[in-house]
Structure 1
Amino acid sequence: MAGPGGNAPTQHDVARALGISVSAVSLALNDRSGVSEDLRARVRQTAADLGYRPNTSAVALRTRRSRTIGLLIRNLSNPFFLDVIEGFETVCAGSGYALITASSHYDLRRETELMRTFIARGVDALALAPVGGSRAAGEWHRTTGRPTVLLNAARLGRALPVMRTHVDGVAAVEQAVGHLADLGHRRLALLSAPRRRSPDPERADTFLRVVAERRLSGRILETELTAAAAGPTLDAELARPRRSRATAVITNSDHLAHVVYAAAAGQGLRIPDDLSVVGHDDLPTSALLAPPLTTLAVDRRTIGVTAAGLLLDALADRPTATRDVSLPATLLVRGSTAPPPR
């Protein structure tokens, strides 16, 4: 719908339609404090009805903001992150922000390069699923001072003024080990990233603590968290003599649990008769495996929604109840876990 004289609608047209000031329209459309949520919603709806579109170049010059947010993840081949991105993008779009997404592919150098690209592009905030350590987040903060949220990195960057949204990794591992121990397993393995590259070392620490408390044998299988790297690591474990190899493997993702299935088949082992497997994420394909995968279900989309909300609140100077949001994981018992072989 055109404004007066056939021109594109402006904020003045939105203000005139609602009988409010242009400044109130500007506050609402730019997600700033100073207007009620009810008025903000009415302004956005009226703007949409009139066909108003902001002049992004003018907005960037006036506010020194690009209305873009950078999302830098670890591994686009893991379907886990697709749901995170979908939730993140939905929230950004609803607030008039564009999303730029990139993947580091578990490469520390690439992570740094992409973060610097985001700085050069002038993105207003950064969401980062780090490869390991908080170097990139630290450089981002020192260089820009702009809002940062870390995804699934509960312990990293404690000295930095960053926000976090993550799954409760401690409770997840406790549930997985407890389930396997209750089935009678005594030799467990955890597939984990090398500590220097791990974004969530609390999982490995929790695993070692819980197996010690339950007087079990626990082994951490350190590997880069890609299918190509994890396969040989699992082959070496499953090729051990029967009395020394793990009778159950816990992974940090369903994506890698699929690799455990393949490695077991390659060694002539049956799941769950010879080997039990516990995943993490509850991907849509996990219930379709043969046998269906026992896993820890997490609301992947909510991770993205929550992270985007934290950044948008920070950009709008809105107070938040917490800067560290921990989301639960729920154990779903399916056919991939059973008592160990006798």
Structure 2
Amino acid sequence: MAGVKDVARRAGVSVATVSRVLNDSARVTAETRARVLAAVAELGYRPNAVARSLRTDTTRTIGLVIGDILNPFFTELARAVEDEARGAGYSVVIGNADERADRQDHYVRTLLEQRVDGLLLCPTAEVTPLVRDVVRDGGPLAFLDRTLPGLDVPTVRADGTAAIGALVAHLAALGHRRIAFVSGPALLSTGRERTAAFTAALRACGLPARPEYVQAGDFQAASGRAGAARLLDLPEPPEAIFAGDNLMALGALDEIRARGLAIPGDVALASYDDVPWFTHLDPPITAIGQPVQELGRRAVRALLDRIDGRPVEPVVLDARLVVRRSCGEPAEQGSDETEGRLPR
């Protein structure tokens, strides 16, 4: 495997110059930078932080790269990871990918260069060369919440299939027949899984899966509002809207209220991901809650097992339906919510 000295020899520069180019220093001319990068490409050189095992040096730190720090789900997940890691004597360094592959890779590279002992990654949709290299090099790595196709990496995630089925059955029991979904991006494993579960749940309840009732979003509030607007503009608008995450539910809520519509009188609303502020709305929002604390705990344990060289099996936890009043009748006499149970 080529080293930094090989790159320096090929480019006709010093090792220090190669280091400055790889660290994007301004103290290098454009011609020299181009020559060094050409040598890197020709030799297939990868910086030692990527090529070497993450376990060469022990720092008692783990890295966590999450999808979107503004999403309450990821914020709570990061807190759960930090709490569990601290209890095991580790510190956590967090990077926010903002759902972008380039930012994800920036933080992965930075964390590796800082010699973290292991890495937890909530991957973006794209299998980047850097992530593929990290997997190939066999350093302690685990995926959290999401998977990537073709990569054999231990993953800790929640399965919402049964909970989505329970939600659609709940909506059907309340008399809703036109049920729509604002989905997450199809490139993300969570987006694909939730859309497939929603379609299967409609079939199980004998309801039609109308293509116009599935609007693509991107797990951001603006796409939730835009998706809800398209649904409500249909000649036959849905009676219920299910948003694929909490931020898109917020966007859908904004659109419904902007039109002067009542929840659930004019349109029912439900969300994947439960967040604390759902209980403070009027009416409180029916949601599918993920076991966020347990996801964080299990992810840290899985990563520490990998750091110690122990075998790690995939972890799949169940999400649950939390019935509140945003879809119709109260969840339960005298109560704002019923976890995992349908109203009698």
Q: Which residue of 2 aligns with 1:275?
A: 267
Q: Alpha-carbon deviations, 1:221-278, whole Å to 9, x = none?
A: 101211123222221211223xx21211112323332222111011221100111111
Q: Which residue of 1 aligns with 2:233?
A: 239
Q: Which residue of 2 aligns with 1:145?
A: 138
Deviation at 1:198, TM superposition (A): 4.6
Q: Which residue of 1 aligns with 2:276?
A: 284
Deviation at 1:158, TM superposition (A): 5.3
| Pair 1:92-2:85 in alignment | yes
Distance 2:188 2:152 in 1: 21
Q: Which residue of 1 aligns with 2:219?
A: 225
Q: Which residue of 2 aligns with 1:313?
A: 305
Give the TM-score, by structure 2 length: 0.73
Q: Which residue of 2 aligns with 1:127?
A: 120
Q: Which residue of 1 aligns with 2:315?
A: 325
Q: Which residue of 1 aligns with 2:172?
A: 181
Distance 2:140 2:153 in 1: 7
User: Is this contact kept in 2: 1:249–1:277, CA < 8 A?
Assistant: yes
- Alignment length (residue pairs): 273
User: Is this contact kept in 2: 1:132–1:199, CA < 8 A?
Assistant: no
After the TM superposition, which residues 288-299 of structure 1 pair with which residues of structure 2 at under 5 Å, given as runs?
Answer: 288-299=280-291
Q: Which residue of 1 aligns with 2:103?
A: 110
User: Is this contact kept in 2: 1:152–1:200, CA < 8 A?
Assistant: no
Q: Helix, strand or coil: the match of 1:317?
A: coil
Instruction: Select the residue among 50, 64, 87 that pairs with 1:71.
Output: 64
Q: Helix, strand or coil: the match of 1:250?
A: strand
Q: Helix, strand or coil: the match of 1:88?
A: helix
Q: Helix, strand or coil: the match of 1:217?
A: coil
Distance 2:283 2:190 in 1: 30
Q: Alpha-carbon deviations, 1:301-329, whole Å to 9, x = none?
A: 11111101100111112355xx2112222
User: Is this contact kept in 1: 2:57–2:117, CA < 8 A?
Assistant: no
User: Is this contact kept in 1: 2:224–2:243, CA < 8 A?
Assistant: no
Segments of 5+ residues of structure 2 without an aligned counterpart are: 1-53, 330-344
User: Taking structure 1 as reference, are residues 254 and 199 closer, same or farther at Cα in structure 2, changes over 3 Å only?
Assistant: closer
Distance 2:205 2:55 in 1: 61
Measured on the aligned residues, the alpha-carbon RMSD in Å equals 2.3
User: Is this contact kept in 1: 2:215–2:227, CA < 8 A?
Assistant: yes
Q: Which residue of 2 aligns with 1:191?
A: 182
User: Is this contact kept in 2: 1:67–1:124, CA < 8 A?
Assistant: yes
User: Taking structure 1 as reference, are residues 198 and 222 closer, same or farther at Cα in structure 2, changes over 3 Å only?
Assistant: farther
Distance 2:226 2:62 in 1: 38
Segments of 5+ residues of structure 1 without an aligned counterpart are: 1-60
* 2:174 partner letter: L
User: Taking structure 1 as reference, are residues 108 and 230 closer, same or farther at Cα in structure 2, changes over 3 Å only?
Assistant: farther
| Pair 1:337-2:327 in alignment | yes
Q: Alpha-carbon deviations, 1:269-291, whole Å to 9, x = none?
A: 11001111111332111111111
User: Taking structure 1 as reference, are residues 161 and 273 closer, same or farther at Cα in structure 2, changes over 3 Å only?
Assistant: same
| 99-108 vs 205-214, greater mean Cα deviation | 205-214
* 1:78 partner letter: N
User: Is this contact kept in 1: 2:97–2:107, CA < 8 A?
Assistant: yes
Distance 2:315 2:55 in 1: 33
User: Taking structure 1 as reference, are residues 62 and 71 closer, same or farther at Cα in structure 2, changes over 3 Å only?
Assistant: closer
